[in-house]
A and B are shown apart, each in its own frame.
Chain A
C-alpha cells in the first residue's frame, strides 16, 4: 500500500510544473566579465591638423536585459582590467553605466524584443528591452591618443555592480555598433 502511494505521488509530481527556486537579491559578483577590444582605428581625424571641438564615442544596440555595470573605456590598452586605474596614463577615456533589467522575470518569450513585427498602426511603447544607446565625450583622451600615434584601439572593461542568478556575469557587454562622432 505504502509503495503504491509513493508511486502515485511520483506520478502526480511529474504532472506538476517544476517548482522554481525564488530569486534572491542582486549582488556584486566576484570574477571578471569579458572585455572587448576593437580593431585599430585610424585617428588622424583627431590630430591637431583638424578642427575638432568635440568627439563622442557612441555605442548603440547595447543589451541591458541582465546585469547592471560600469563600462570603462580605455584607449590603446587592450590588457586593461577592472583593476586598471582610471587615469590618463593607463588610457582611461571615460565610463558609461547600464542600469540592467535583472534577467527575465516573466514567462517564456517575455523578454524577447519583437520590434520588427510592428506596423504603422502599432502605437504601443517599444519593448522595454529595445537596445540602449550611450554617448561618452572622449574629446581630450582621443586628441591625446592622436598626438602619440596614428591609431587607437577601444577596450571596454565591464565592471558588474548588481547581478542575480539570472544574469550572465561573463558576457556582460554586448552591443551592435560603436563609432566616433565628431563635431567641428
Chain B
C-alpha cells in the first residue's frame, strides 16, 4: 500500500471514470447491511445513534464545545476509508456550492441523474429503514432544493468572508451557520439532522465544509482554538480533536486547482 496522500477532488472536476468509481463505491456500500455499509455510517449522524455534533451548546460547558468541524472531519475520514475498502483508489469529492452557472446550477447532475447507464444512480437517493424509531421511518430520501441563485448568492460571499476571519470561534460558528443554510437549501431529508446523512449528497456537502476549514487552516493555522478542546474524544471514533487538526496526518489533502483549461502547445514541441 502506497503511503502517498490521497487527493480529494471537486465534484465538478471529476472525469466520467471517476464519477463511475464514486458511484460504484456508494453502490457497494449501500448493499452492505453490517458496520461496513452505508446504512451504518448514515445512522451514526442522526437516527438512530445521534453521535453528530452541531451548534455550540452552552448549558454546562464554558468551552461551548465548538467541535462541529473536528467531529465531522473524523466522520468523513472513517466514511472515506470504508469507501476505499470497496473501491481502493476512490476519494470523497467535495460539492462546491459557491460555483455558479455555467459550471453549476444548484445540485450537481451526478447526484440528480435518475440512471447510471442501465442501473439506478446510487447518488440520487437511499432507502431509510428505521423500524425501531418512534415513529418508524421507511422511505426513500427526497430533496426539495431552493433557488440556485440563492445558493450561490449566499454561499459565495459567505465563504469568502469566513476565510478572512482570524478568530477560531468566529470562523467555526460562521462556517457552521453557512453549513446550516445549505442543509436547509437542499431541504427534504437533508434538511433535518435525523435523516440528513442518509442522503448521498450529504458527504460531498461536508467535504466542502472540511475543505473550507483546511483552506482556513492554511491561512491562519489553528489560530486560537481552545487548548482545552484538544483532548476531547470524537465519539464514536478512535480520534481526539488534536488528532484531526492536520488533514495530512489523516492521509488526505484537497486538490488545489479548481479547474484545468487546456490551451495546447505549439505543435512542434
The interface residues of chain B lying within 8 Å CB-to-CB of A141 are none
Q: Is the CB of A125 within 8 A of B195?
A: no
How many chain A residues touch B (Cβ–Cβ < 8 Å)? 46
Q: Is the CB of B195 within 8 A of A25?
A: yes
The interface residues of chain A lying within 8 Å CB-to-CB of B58 are 60-61, 130-133
Q: Is the CB of A115 within 8 A of B48?
A: no
CA distance A69 to B192 in the complex (A): 10
Selecting from B78-86, B131-139, B260-268, the interface stretch reads B131-139
Q: Is the CB of B180 within 8 A of A99?
A: yes
Binding site for B on A (CB under 8 A): 20-28, 60-62, 64, 67-70, 96-107, 113, 115, 118, 125-126, 128, 130-135, 161-164, 166
B56 CB-CB contact with A under 8 Å? yes
The interface residues of chain A lying within 8 Å CB-to-CB of B65 are 125-126
Q: Is the CB of B60 within 8 A of A118?
A: yes
Q: Is the CB of A106 within 8 A of B133?
A: yes
The smallest C-beta distance from A156 to any residue of chain B, in angstroms, reads 15
8 Å CB interface, B34-65 against A: 46-48, 50, 52-61, 64-65
Further pairs besides A132-B54, A164-B192: 18, Cβ < 8 Å: A23-B133, A23-B139, A25-B142, A26-B192, A27-B188, A60-B58, A68-B187, A100-B191, A102-B191, A102-B195, A105-B134, A105-B135, A106-B133, A126-B57, A130-B57, A131-B59, A133-B64, A161-B187
CA distance A27 to B188 in the complex (A): 5
Bits for B189-200, please: 1 = Cβ < 8 Å to A, else 0: 111111110000
Q: Is the CB of A115 within 8 A of B60?
A: yes
Q: Is the CB of A161 within 8 A of B185?
A: yes
Which of B134, B184, B188: most chain A CB closer than 10 A? B184
CA distance A77 to B48 in the complex (A): 42
The interface residues of chain A lying within 8 Å CB-to-CB of B64 are 133
8 Å CB interface, B128-177 against A: 130, 133-139, 141-142, 144, 146, 170, 173, 177
B235 CB-CB contact with A under 8 Å? yes
Q: Is the CB of B57 within 8 A of A135?
A: no
Q: Is the CB of B235 within 8 A of A125?
A: yes
The interface residues of chain B lying within 8 Å CB-to-CB of A101 are 46, 192-194
The interface residues of chain A lying within 8 Å CB-to-CB of B187 are 26-28, 68, 161-162
Q: Is the CB of A68 within 8 A of B59?
A: no
Q: Is the CB of A23 within 8 A of B137?
A: yes
The smallest C-beta distance from B129 to any residue of chain A, in angstroms, reads 10
Q: Is the CB of B183 within 8 A of A68?
A: yes
Q: Is the CB of B180 within 8 A of A26?
A: no
A-B contact count (CB 8 A): 145
B220 CB-CB contact with A under 8 Å? no
A21-B135 in contact given A99-B54, A126-B60 (Cβ < 8 Å) = yes
Which of B135, B173, B181, B192: most chain A CB closer than 10 A? B192
Q: Is the CB of A126 within 8 A of B59?
A: yes
The interface residues of chain A lying within 8 Å CB-to-CB of B52 are 128
Residue of A at shortest CB range from B169?
A: A135
A20-B135 in contact given A27-B187, A60-B58, A97-B177 (Cβ < 8 Å) = yes
Q: Is the CB of B60 within 8 A of A97?
A: no
The interface residues of chain A lying within 8 Å CB-to-CB of B46 are 101-102
Q: Is the CB of A22 within 8 A of B138?
A: yes
The interface residues of chain A lying within 8 Å CB-to-CB of B178 are 97
B179 CB-CB contact with A under 8 Å? yes
A20-B136 in contact given A25-B141, A27-B187 (Cβ < 8 Å) = yes
The interface residues of chain A lying within 8 Å CB-to-CB of B56 are 132-133
The interface residues of chain B lying within 8 Å CB-to-CB of A126 are 57, 59-61, 65
Which of A23, A68, A130 sits near B180, CB closer than 8 Å? A68
CA distance A18 to B130 in the complex (A): 17
CA distance A98 to B170 in the complex (A): 17
Q: Is the CB of A22 within 8 A of B136?
A: yes
